[in-house]
Structure 1
Amino acid sequence: MSTARLELPDSLVSTDWLAGHLDDERLVVLDASVVGAETAAGFRWLSGLDAYLIDGHIPGAVFADLLEEFSDSDGPYAFTRPDLFRLAEAARSTGIDDTRTVVVFDSGLGQWASRLWWLLAAGGLDRVAILDGGLAKWKAEGRPLETGFVAPRPAASVTLAERPSWWADRAEVRRVVDGEASASLVCSASRTDFTGETGRRDRRGHIPGSVHVPLTAVVDRETNAFLPDAPDVPAGPDERVIAYCGGGIAAAATAFALRRAGRRDVAVYDGSLDEWSSLPDAPLVSLSA
C-alpha cells in the first residue's frame, strides 16, 4: 500500500467516500456521540459509549469521548476545551497521529462531530472531516454496522499548533457587546432558549446584539446532512463572526458551516451561555416577558 497520506476531498465527506475508504489503514474514523438524559438529579450529558457498543457503529470506528478525554475535566463547565497537551494526548489515544486522516461522525444532528472537528482543526490538524449525515444517514442507506469495542491502532506523534483566532473568550464577547470590538454574535441555541422562554440556567436569554442561527438552520432535520447553503448572518464577508450556544456544541456546527462556505474569521465562544449567564454583570436579553 502507498505510504502517501490519504487526502480528503473536502472538510465534509459523503457516506460513499467513507464506504470506499473504510479499509484504508491511513484513516481513523471516530464516533463522537454524546446523549442527554433527565435524571433524578436533573439533566445530565452522558457518554454515547453504551449506544456505540450495543446499538452499533460504522465498522472500524473508534469511540471518542467528548465528555472526558476531549474536554478539560477540571474546567468550570461541561465540554470546556482542553489545552493543546491534553488535546494531543486525547487524539493519540484514538489512533490519530501525523500520518493519519480523520473522519468524525455522531448519532445526533452532527453537532458532536462538529465539536470534535472544531477542536482538532483549531488545534492545527488539517486532515480531518465530518461525515455528512452521520450515523443516521449511514443507517438509512442500509450500510453495515458493527457492535462492540474497537481498539484504537497505536499512534506515533501528533503535531498540533493552536489557531487562537478560532476561539473567543468572554472578554472579547464583552468588548463586542460594549461596542469596543467589531464582530457579529450568532446564537445557535434553540429558539426558546434564545428568547428566554426555556433554559437550564438561572439566567435566560441571549447576549445583546445576537442574531439567531439554530442548528436546524445548518442541518437538514430529515437527512441529518448539512444544508448546501451557508447560514445567513448580517456580516460582511471579512467581518469576524462569533458563534455561541449553551456550551459551545451547536455553535461548532454553525461555525463549521460558515468556515466551509468561505468565511475566514469565525470563532466559537467556548464558555457560551453556560459561562456568560453565570456572570452577574453580563447582560442578557429575554423576549419571553
Structure 2
Amino acid sequence: MYTTLISAAQLQTLQTNGTPLAVFDCTFDLMNPAAGHAAFVEQHIAGAQHADLDEHLATHDPALRVNGGRHPLPQRDVFAAWLQSVGVNTDTQVVVYDRNGMNYCGRLWWMLKWCGHDAVAVLDGGLQAWVAADGAVASGEATENTHGNFALREPLVKLVDTATVAAHLNDSQQTIIDARGAPRYRGEVEPLDPVAGHIPGALNRPFNTNLNEQGFFKSADELRAEFAALLGNAKADTVVHHCGSGVSAVPNVLAMEVAGLGRTALYAGSWSEWCNTPGLPCEKS
C-alpha cells in the first residue's frame, strides 16, 4: 500500500500486477478553470480519470459545504458518493497526479485520507515524470467505470476550522504555516482575495519549496531539516497548514509526513475564509 508518494516505476508495476487501482489526473488552472480538463483530453496516463478541483473536489452549494473560502470542501458523504460513481472501492489503491508541480493533486490525496482511505499516493514528479519514464499515455475522455463500493471510515487527517485557528492565535498549541508565495504572505500583492496579508503569527513556507530542481519531492532528510529550521522550538504536532483556499497547503502536509513528522492539520478555509470573516486580524510584514 502506498500512502504518501509513488514513483513512475512503482505505478507501472501496479498497472501490471493486478492491484485494484484507480488513477486520477487533477490538473487545474486557477485563472482558466476549463484548461485542466482540456489538458486531460489532450494527454493523460492511460486508464486515468479526471478529477476537477471546482467540479469534484469542492462545492459552492451552502447546503453541502463544510467550510467557507474559495474552494469549500464538500461534505464527506457527498464526496464519497462521487468516489463510488467513478469506481473507487474500499480496497482500491488510488494514485493522484497533475502537471502543476503536484499542487492540485494533493487536494484529492488529502480528501481521501479525510474520508478514511489510506491507500492513496501522489505520483512523484507528476505527469512529466511519467512521460519521461515512458509510461503509457492516452488522449480523449476517460472510459466509463463500474460503480464502486467506497465507504466512509473515520478520518485519518485533522481538519481545523476558522474558530479554532482564531482561538489559538499566538499560543503554543498552534503553529500556523502559510503555503502561499512570499509576496502574498507579506501582503505586497493579492491577486485572488479581497484583503492582502497573512494570519498573525503565521510562518511562511511556499508549497513549491518542497520540490528539488528536477520537480520531485526532496528527500526525507532534506525536508526534515528544512521544517526543523522553520519551526524552531515549535513542535511538529502543533502545526496547522493553510494557503489561499486550502489546496496548495496540502503539499506542505504531505512533505511533513514524508519527513517523518506525522500528519499535521489543515485549515481548509485558509486565507480566503479568514480575510472574509469580520473581526479577524490580518497582518502585513
Q: Is the 8 A contact 2:90 2:151 kept in 1?
A: yes
1:16 to 9, 24, 30: 9
Alignment gaps of 5+ in structure 2: none
Aligned twin of 1:90: 82
User: Could you tell me whether the CA contact under 8 Å between 2:177 and 2:205 is conserved in 1?
Assistant: yes
Aligned equivalent of 1:34, options 25, 28, 34: 28
1:80 aligned partner = 72
- Name 2:208's counterpart in structure 1: 216
Task: For 1:69 and 1:284, locate their aligned partners in 2 and report how far apart those are by CA, in whole Å.
Answer: 31
Give the secondary structure class of the aligned counterpart of 2:137. coil
CA drift of 1:21 comes to 2.0
Distance 2:178 2:51 in 1: 26
The structural deviation recorded for 1:189 is 0.3
User: CA contact under 8 A between 1:47 and 1:65: conserved in structure 2?
Assistant: no
Distance 1:88 1:53 in 2: 25
1:268 offset after TM fit, Å? 0.9
Give the superposition deviation at 1:78: 3.1
Deviation at 1:208, TM superposition (A): 0.7
- For residue 3 of structure 1, what is the aligned residue in structure 2? none
Q: Secondary structure at the match of 2:122?
A: strand
Q: For the residues of structure 2 that align with 1:244 and 1:142, how far apart are their CA atoms?
A: 35
Is structure 2 residue 185 aligned with structure 1 residue 197? no
TM-score by length of structure 2 reads: 0.88
Equivalent position amino acid for 1:33 in 2: T
SS for the counterpart of 1:29 is strand
**2:158 pairs with one of 166, 172, 176:** 166
- 1:173-215 Cα shifts (integer Å, max 9, x gaps): 1012164x61110000011100111112221111111111111
| Counterpart among 272, 275, 278 of residue 273 in structure 2 | 275
Corresponding residue of 1:104: 96
**Structure 2 partner of 1:132:** 124
Deviations 1:226-277 (A, max 9, x none): 1113241315455321000001111011011112322335111111010011
Aligned to 2:237: 239
SS in 1 for 2:240: strand
CA contact (8 A) 1:70 1:90 kept: no
How many positions carry a matched residue from both structures?
271
In structure 1, the residue corresponding to 2:121 is in which secondary structure? strand
Counting only pairs closer than 5 Å after superposition, residues 145-184 of structure 1 correspond to structure 2 as 145-163=137-155, 166-177=158-169, 179=171, 182-184=173-175
Is 1:252 matched with 2:250?
yes
2:261 match: 263
The alignment's C-alpha RMSD in Å is: 2.0
Q: What amino acid does structure 2 have at the position aligned with 1:281?
A: G
| Structure 1 stretches lacking a partner, 5+ long | 1-6, 38-43
| Conservation of the 8 A alpha-carbon contact between 1:63 and 1:94 | no
Give the counterpart of 1:52 among 33, 40, 53: 40
TM-score norm. by structure 1 comes to 0.87
Quote the offset at 1:166 in angstroms: 1.3
Q: Write the deviation string for residues 103-125 of structure 1: whole angstroms up to 9, x where unpaired.
A: 11011010111111001012100
**Does structure 1 residue 68 correspond to structure 2 residue 55?**
yes
